[in-house]
Amino acid sequence: MTQLSANDTATHCLISPPGLHELPPPELRLGVLASGNGSNFSAILAAIAAGQLRAEVTVVVYNNPTAKVAERAAAAGIPAVLLDHRAYETRVAMDQAIVAVLRSHRVDWVIMAGWMRRVTQRLIDAFPQKILNIHPSLLPSFPGLAAVEQALTAGVKITGCTVHVVELEVDSGPIIMQAAVPVLPDDSAEKLQARIQIQEHRIFSLAIALAAQQAQKLAQQSESISIR
């Protein structure tokens, strides 16, 4: 019989620590970026309150002084910080300010819930693979503005919404979750948008939990490899 040395045993234990996948999902510190209404933000808060997402929204950043999301944050007792894009000379300067606010609230995941600004590498590098966006189409179809109108004009019979990891190009990046929504014969942009939003509110928190779990798993795997 081959004799195991103390070294072999130690290596074996480190590669496959017992109960690795039984760890509870991580408690997340979310920073929400929003430009308007904030119904997705409220849906995330509801999922947290219902115990469906182990997370806390530590700050909301908004760029438009009249955005309703600020009222929603105040009602929930969550700090909301206005960073008006018109006050910044460049997109990088704006993103630098956003990063500073997010860091000061010890955010680890950035959630774009109706954030109507292009991002720069400055923001992406500050939270690698940890910025999620929701878009009202089945990406890669209909990226950019007026996605619901684009879908109606194209005459597709099914559209929906997508949660994806944010990369530099608008509405690109690995897809975490999608929900399909049928286009009905008498649909207007408003009616279709309303049905898509119901699905957005359902999948965003699920996608956040899934992305965080995947990230946790990857981190554990690379930790055991580097220990080895």
Pick out the residues of the known binding site: 38-40, 91, 133
Closer residue to ligand GRF (CB): 39 or 205 = 39
Q: Is 135 in the site for ligand GRF (CB under 6 A)?
A: yes
**Which of these is catalytic: 12, 21, 85, 135?**
135
Hey, what amino acid is at 91? R
Closer residue to ligand GRF (CB): 93 or 175 = 175
User: Long-range contacts made by residues 212-215, C-beta under 8 angstroms, separation at least 24?
Assistant: 212/25, 212/26, 212/28, 212/109, 213/25, 213/26, 215/129, 215/130
User: Among this protein's residues, is 105 annotated catalytic?
Assistant: no
Interstrand relation of 80-82 and 55-62 (parallel, antiparallel or unpaired): parallel
User: Shortest distance, CB of residue 152 to ligand GRF, whole angstroms?
Assistant: 15
Which of helix, strand or coil describes residue 38? coil
Give the other-Cβ count within 10 Å of 210's Cβ: 15
Find the part of the chain contacting ligand GRF (CB under 6 A) among 36-44, 89-97, 149-157, 212-220. 36-44
Find the part of the chain contacting ligand GRF (CB under 6 A) among 90-98, 133-141, 180-188, 214-222. 133-141
Instruction: Give the whole-angstrom CA distance, residue 130 versus residue 108.
Output: 7
Contacting residue, 11, 14, 29, 36, with ligand GRF by CB under 6 A: 36
User: Shortest distance, CB of residue 92 to ligand GRF, whole angstroms?
Assistant: 22
Residue, CB closest to ligand GRF: 114
Interaction residues for ligand GRF, span 85-114 (CB under 6 A): 113-114
Q: Is 160 in the site for ligand GRF (CB under 6 A)?
A: no
Give the other-Cβ count within 10 Å of 140's Cβ: 11
Interaction residues for ligand GRF, span 188-227 (CB under 6 A): 197, 200
Q: Are 228 and 191 in contact (CB under 8 A)?
A: no
DSSP secondary structure string for all residues of 133-159:
EEESS-TTSS-SS-HHHHHHHHT-SEE
In Å, how far are 34, 92, 126, 213 from 68, measured between CA atoms?
Answer: 9, 25, 27, 31
User: Shortest distance, CB of residue 6 to ligand GRF, whole angstroms?
Assistant: 55
Closer residue to ligand GRF (CB): 22 or 169 = 169
Q: Is 138 in the site for ligand GRF (CB under 6 A)?
A: no
Interaction residues for ligand GRF, span 40-79 (CB under 6 A): 40
Instruction: Give the whole-angstrom CA distance, residue 228 versus residue 13.
Output: 10
Binding site for ligand GRF (CB under 6 A): 34, 36-40, 113-114, 134-136, 161, 197, 200
Q: Which residues are catalytic?
A: 135
